[in-house]
Structure 1
Amino acid sequence: MMINTHTAYDRCFKQASLFSALSVTVIMVAIFATLVFGALPAIKQFGIGFIFSTDWDPINLLFGAGNALYGTLVSSIIAALLATPIGIAIAISLSELMPKWLSHPVSIAIELLSAVPSIIYGMWGLFVFAPWFASGPQIWMLEHISPIPLIGRLFSGVPLGQGLLTAGIILAFMILPIMTALIKDALNTVPDVLKESSYGIGANSFEVITKILLPSIKSSIFGAFILALGRALGETMAVTFVIGNAQAISQALFMPATSISATIANQFNEADGMKMSALMALGLVLFIVTFLVMGYARIQLRKSVRG
């Protein structure tokens, strides 16, 4: 009787698990279908050119995703580039250098960063970070970096505090916890025998870290980079506060810009007709880009596990 009861429980558990997995898939398909249906008028009106067009003129009903897509990609890439070396350094410190009595509370403190609502990051960025950034680091970069050929144009413009670079820095704070956690978990998968044998032949900590640990998890680091990039792509409120919300593309990272999520958040309430369809098309573009980025990251992480 007990065997039959256990079999019934197992069957119910398997069915519930299958239902949960399928429900997530159904929800994703439903979201995609809703976005496609809402974006159809804009797709028919503007075609594939919608993705590359920089027009955003609600009065004349001219819409394009170019400005918002540029701001989304650039701010997210800046965030991932800033967070990756810092995340690697923190993960190495927690995993290899710090004593356990110190690494545990520091790990908890870093993980708590992911629990902070994004609007708090945005308010802190707008009222605290942006004024400090405009009056200090931006002035210094304008004086010392902007005259440098090639890269100087990236650090030119007006020191407003808000802009692409500010948005990227705030996003870096937000994705740092997931970056650190992923790299730390990857470091913990490296066999102890590799480290012990390296120390046994006379290697120091720097050599073990740079020649044994980091090469062993390079695929995991790349996967963490892509996952963090995907996390940054869809961020809304924090970016809306600090990016400047200007429908423009500029090489200068100090200048205001916009992102897909910020454009939708700012204009969705008052939208109707073709403008509403254009915003739905923006959401569709963001959905596809994020899906492709996250899918690529999963593939890389699976390769690293198999390797």
Structure 2
Amino acid sequence: MPTDSTPTRTPGEPSAPETLRAGTTGTTAPGEATSGEAASGKAKTRPGDRIFSGLSRGAGITLLAIMASIAVFLSWQASTALAENEGNFLTTFEWNVNADPPVFGIAVLAYGTLVSSVIAMVLAVPVAVGIALFISHYAPRKLASPLAYIIDLLAAVPSIVYGLWGALFLVPHLTGLYEWLDDYFGWTGIFEYNGGAARSLFTAGILLAIMILPIVTNVSREVFRQSPKMQEEAALALGATRWEVIRMSVLPFGRSGVISASMLGLGRALGETMAVATVLSPSFVINASLLNPGGGTFAQNIASSFKEASPGGIGREALIASGLVLFVITLLVNGLARLIIARRKEYSGANA
């Protein structure tokens, strides 16, 4: 006798179609977007993300507001001195703010600031990159760790300590180097030495190079340590030497980092005050030779002349005007660095 294959259903129990329809309207798991939210692409943002986004945006706006306020203050204070200046502010080779009428210009200060900073960069960046490569790829671990620690300590030394060391040790011991440069390269006029104390832009550049060396080294070392290990191992497996691996893999990867590190060092070199004021004999004369006294820097002139600037005159406003020029130069240098990094996609890290 054939049996009925239809399943029995107790009274009150929903049928299968009803069960399926009920399952489609069930609740989703915690944190899982519903189909409507997924279709609209408007998933709920967690409170922590909103708070962090707001704080980040606020920090960026605050930084821009601070920079704008600094620029407005410097421009406002400088306008008073520039209105009374009888000389050309950009080309005058004189700084006499107490004269009647006052005559002052920044030609010598701009020359000294740029020349000393360029000397520092030429001397420091190649050495810093070499030290960073040695620590990250050549030195054994037992030597690399103490050496990196010493470099970190050098970055924390105050500027005045570097200045005292430069005045008491570096300046007396550079006389022999100056005489040697004069004997072999004095014919160029750039390295002509007339004797006397070695208090020149070249000495200031050497001291600045020593000061920015730890900054450039530390940043470059960290960038080189992040280079792709798979590429290095593949190059070694194909028979490349250690230098070929560095030249083809490490240096291209870390190029943007080295540029950023160099700009950090250049920023300190441009604005260094006490160390340069300690080793430099300033004068408002541009000397073709880097080994003879002459020239000055913006920061050194502000530190040396601020105390003597009469509150009733325009001395302080004139110094603020020179500080405004240094502020603009720093912004231009950093902007140029960003353009160099963003010029090619592989420099900017977009392919990382």
Q: TM-score, normalised by structure 1?
A: 0.89
Partner residue, 2:243: 206
**1:77/1:197 CA distance change after superposition, 3 Å:** same
Q: 2:300 aligns with which of 262, 269, 277?
A: 262
How far does residue 269 in structure 1 lie from its aligned partner after superposition?
1.5
How far does residue 270 in structure 1 lie from its aligned partner after superposition?
1.9
- Three-state SS of the structure 1 residue aligned to 2:178 is helix
Alignment of 1:102-113 (within 5 A): 102-113=143-154
Q: 1:51 aligns with which of 68, 75, 90?
A: 90
* CA–CA distance in structure 1, aligned partners of residues 66 and 232 of structure 2: 45
How far does residue 181 in structure 1 lie from its aligned partner after superposition?
1.9
Partner residue, 2:10: none
Q: What letter corresponds to residue 307 of structure 2 in structure 1?
A: N
How far does residue 301 in structure 1 lie from its aligned partner after superposition?
4.2
Asked whether 1:241 is paired with 2:308, we answer no
- Three-state SS of the structure 1 residue aligned to 2:174 is helix
* CA–CA distance in structure 2, aligned partners of residues 176 and 221 of structure 1: 12
**1:16/1:216 CA distance change after superposition, 3 Å:** closer
* CA–CA distance in structure 2, aligned partners of residues 22 and 58 of structure 1: 37
How far does residue 118 in structure 1 lie from its aligned partner after superposition?
0.4
Deviation digits for residues 95-115 of structure 1 (CA, Å, limit 9, x no counterpart): 100112221111111011111
* CA–CA distance in structure 2, aligned partners of residues 118 and 51 of structure 1: 29
Aligned length: 298
* CA–CA distance in structure 1, aligned partners of residues 309 and 167 of structure 2: 26
* CA–CA distance in structure 2, aligned partners of residues 37 and 270 of structure 1: 22
Q: 1:73 aligns with which of 110, 114, 124?
A: 114
Partner residue, 1:84: 125
Moved more, 182-191 or 243-252: 182-191
How far does residue 193 in structure 1 lie from its aligned partner after superposition?
1.9
**Greater share of helix:** 1
Does the aligned pair in 2 maintain the 1:146–1:154 contact within 8 Å? yes
**1:260/1:193 CA distance change after superposition, 3 Å:** same
**1:261/1:11 CA distance change after superposition, 3 Å:** same
Moved more, 11-20 or 196-205: 11-20
**1:300/1:108 CA distance change after superposition, 3 Å:** farther
Deviation digits for residues 147-191 of structure 1 (CA, Å, limit 9, x no counterpart): 3xxxx2111133421110110011011111121122222222321
Deviation digits for residues 47-93 of structure 1 (CA, Å, limit 9, x no counterpart): 99412222222343210001111100100111011111101100110
Does the aligned pair in 2 maintain the 1:227–1:297 contact within 8 Å? no
Q: What letter corresponds to residue 317 of structure 2 in structure 1?
A: S
Does the aligned pair in 2 maintain the 1:67–1:258 contact within 8 Å? yes
Higher RCO, Cα 8 Å, sep 6+: 1
Percent same amino acid among aligned pairs? 36
Does the aligned pair in 2 maintain the 1:186–1:220 contact within 8 Å? yes
Partner residue, 2:223: 186
* CA–CA distance in structure 2, aligned partners of residues 218 and 46 of structure 1: 45
* CA–CA distance in structure 2, aligned partners of residues 133 and 215 of structure 1: 37
* Structure 2 unmatched runs, 5+: 1-30, 32-44
Moved more, 241-250 or 183-192: 183-192
Q: What letter corresponds to residue 97 of structure 2 in structure 1?
A: P
